[in-house]
Structure 1
Amino acid sequence: MQDFASAAMVRLLVRAMRAQGLDPPPPGLDGLQGSHVPLAYKRSVVEAVLHQGGLGTLLQLAQRVDLLAGDPVHRALLGASSLPELMARWQRLERYVHSRHQVSITASAPGTLALHHHARPGVLEKPLPTESLAVLGVLMGASQAIGVRGLQVDLGTSEAASQRVSLRIGVPATPAELPAQLAPMAAEGQMGHWTLRWEVHTDEGKAPIAPAVEPQPATHLCDALPWPPLAHQLARHVLHDPAAQHTVDALAEHAGLARRSLQRALTEGGLSCRHIVTEARARLAAQWLLDSPHGLAEIGFACGFADQPHFTREFSRHVGLTPARYRQAFARSSAPRDGSLQIR
């Protein structure tokens, strides 16, 4: 649990505690942009939330994803245009960081997802109820941020219907009611079973709502390359949301061309969809490496690379240096040199 996703979760909880008037444990984390946080400190933050507010407060604080604005993870998740796409991005994040736990989709239908937060195969330690609740809070907050309407969450399995707790975005339970409802579920091991329901609209998945994050998408980064207009159009599309799945079919649809027509047009200019996508992602990653203190893994995930080796390999092929060596060689003196700001 010392990956960048855990560090982002800790930053969120600490900032949310302060916004709520609660006292996070030292050291103070405002402004921390590191990639790692010790498990002991993560647990101390959760314990502080429970001591000062309880399980209901933990769920509410975890929904404050707006407090992560500017983090690469925030941009990557909130680039989703629908709840199913958000879940796909969350699952990619879990795979990227080799998380011990994962959220699996156990059933799906239009406007409904049944989810289970559980240990990965081969991992003996199940998620703590507080870990499941924090993940659920982030998914609820992110769903609201991307414009999911009418979201309702039922906690617990269908077999334990009498103990299920229903939550609705924008209609919170009273401060005394929610902890009383959640405590028995935590004791019974039901906290990791969720059923999400929301309003489905005909435009769902068509037009993503751009989150208010800084820096804004740097869609100009490939403009200086001697590419034909079609390639620049595709590059700007990729740079607007690098974490999306930019397949050949998806790019062809964006360009309004048949798949073969797109490939033929790019081949005539000595290009391919893969080359354009990777070049755009590598250039954006280079900007993050020079202009932000975020860790290498966090930047690689946010820029759409499948995992850390993929990021290192493709960045080196397009830039000529590994991400770490590139940062060491060119980052401003005020930026971190190894991408490893850590709480020790």
Structure 2
Amino acid sequence: MQDFASAAMVRLLVRAMDAHGLAPPPPPPAADGLAASHVPLAYKRSVVQAVLQQGGLGTLLQLAQRVDLLAGDPVHRALLGATDVPELLARWQRLERYVHSRHQVSIQTGAPGALALHHHARPGVPEEPHPTESLAVLGVLLGASQALGVHGLQVEIGAPRATSQPVNLEIGTPAATPAHLDAALAAQGQMGQWTLRWHTYANASPPHAITLQPQPATHLCDALPWPPLAHRLARHVLHDPAAQHTVDALAHHTGLARRSLQRALTEGGLSCRHIVTEARARLAAQWLLESTHGLAEIGFACGFADQPHFTREFARHVGLTPARYRQAFARAGTPTPDPHFI
């Protein structure tokens, strides 16, 4: 079985196939089908094969950019909380670490408005990513970058100084259609090598409001007997729980020096770590009760480092593990996820 990130990718491709008039394969026979946090590897491969048969490599890259079709998934919320391309990539890399992905995207070189990236196997993993896997990952990163409002986005597919001609695309232009891509991509042997370029003056704010279920609730800590400064920090964390809320980042948000912030919180018996974890745990509890998303997916979206970290910190703040909390308090009528997937 594949991880929840692979399941989200499959959901994206299936929804995009429907939206573009293509016929996806029948969903897997499990009771929750594509709603599950995991899907069989065989089904993932069948979806990719169906895209290739009905459209080709260019269509696969195009469909993977439709990240808007994942609105409502925790992964969508976590990735689209970024403000620019480098932060988006950092969040993607955290997702790879969270699910212990066998493959990873590494930065080869970086400069303002440009990144040279490599999608490759992690150390100790013998199999490199299949070219279609690399194209799908690239498509998601390109689609998410567009959703962030990045302007002038271009990508070069292929290693610099390679024998084959790199494929150059300006994302969002008619030239980047599947018909123009198939032959060029088929001739490109290094689809895991990418160079992204964009205008650095672009507005990083999403051009459209992102529809989430449930909506982010910045008030979840308001009832706690905390001083105003702590509530201000909690609301900041709840607005984007997947961000890296370090002490330095929180101090910058408040306009205080690091030591001044820590001293002010200590006087109230609090710390940055406690506030951040309490906010994340309360938001995770909301997702657990109001959605059927898997525990790992919720933990990632709420900013926890990995599944054990989520389970440990949630239990420390709430008193129950995430699985037991959902079983005990989920509303009547809310479908219960398959226990194999939680």
Structure-1-length-normalised TM-score: 0.94
In structure 2, how many angstroms separate the alpha carbons of the residues matched to 1:263 and 1:208? 33
Task: Give, as a single letter, the amino acid of the residue that structure 1 aligns with 2:61.
Answer: L
Selected match of 1:213 from 199, 211, 214 = 211
- Secondary structure of the 2:100 match is coil
- Contact 1:79 1:208 (8 Å CA) reproduced: no
Other-structure match for 1:25: 25
CA distance in 2, matches of 1:245, 1:208: 19
SS at match of 1:163: coil
The answer to whether the 8 A contact 1:113-1:197 is kept is yes
Identify if the C-alpha distance between structure 1 residues 326 and 93 changes in structure 2 by more than 3 Å, giving closer, same or farther.
same
User: Alpha-carbon deviations, 1:208-262, whole Å to 9, x = none?
Assistant: 7775122321101001001011110100000000000001111111111111111
C-alpha contact 1:35 1:340 (8 A) present in aligned 2: no
Instruction: State the secondary structure of the residue aligned to 1:333.
Output: coil
Q: Which residue of 2 aligns with 1:102?
A: 104
Q: Which amino acid aligns with 1:182?
A: L
* Alignment partner, residue 200 of structure 2: 200
Structure 2 counterpart SS, 1:99: coil
Q: 1:150 aligns with which of 130, 149, 152?
A: 152
Q: Which amino acid in 2 is paired with 1:48? A: A
CA separation of 1:110 and 1:252: change in aligned 2, threshold 3 A: same
SS of match in other structure, 2:35: coil
Paired residues for 1:266-305 under 5 Å:
266-305=265-304
Report the Cα offset of residue 334 of structure 1. 2.6
Task: Tell me if the contact between 2:150 and 2:202 (Cα under 8 Å) persists in the aligned partners.
Answer: no
Counterpart residue number, 1:326? 325
Map Cα deviations across residues 62-98 of structure 1 (whole Å, 9 max, x no partner).
0000000010000000000010000000000000000
Counterpart CA distance in 1 for 2:319 and 2:273 is 18
The answer to which structure, 1 or 2, has the higher relative contact order (CA under 8 A, 6+ apart) is 1
Aligned sequence identity (%): 80
Is the counterpart of residue 251 in structure 1 residue 250 in structure 2?
yes
1:312 maps to what in 2? 311
Q: Quote the Cα distance in structure 1 between the aligned partners of 2:62 and 2:23.
A: 16
- Partners of 1:73 and 1:202 lie apart in 2 by 24
Alignment of 1:8-157 (within 5 A): 8-27=8-27, 32-157=34-159
1:156/1:192 contact within 8 Å kept: yes
SS at match of 2:105: strand
Q: Distance in 2 between matches of 1:262 and 1:202?
A: 32
Which string of whole-angstrom CA distances, capped at 9 and with x for unpartnered residues, describes residues 270-310 of structure 1? 00000000000000000000000000000000000000010
TM-score, normalised relative to structure 2: 0.94
Alpha-carbon distance between aligned partners in 1 of 2:73 and 2:64, rounded to the nearest angstrom: 15
Aligned partner of residue 179 in structure 1, secondary structure? helix
User: What is the alpha-carbon distance in structure 2 between the residues aligned to residue 283 and residue 42 of structure 1?
Assistant: 33
The structure-2 alpha-carbon separation of the partners of 1:152 and 1:247, relative to structure 1 and needing over 3 Å to count, comes to same
| Distance (Å, rounded) in 1 between the aligned partners of 2:245 and 2:207 | 18
8 A contact 2:159–2:194 mirrored in 1: yes
Report the residue type matching 2:211 in the other structure: V
Aligned partners of 1:28, 1:162: CA distance in 2, in Å?
A: 38
Alpha-carbon separation, structure 2, partners of 1:287 and 1:32: 22
Q: Is there any run of 5+ residues in structure 1 with no aligned partner, and where?
A: none
Pair 73,136 (structure 1): closer, same or farther in 2 beyond 3 Å: same
Secondary structure of 1:196's counterpart equals: strand
Per the alignment, residue 183 of structure 1 pairs with 186
- Structure 2: runs of 5+ lacking an equivalent: none
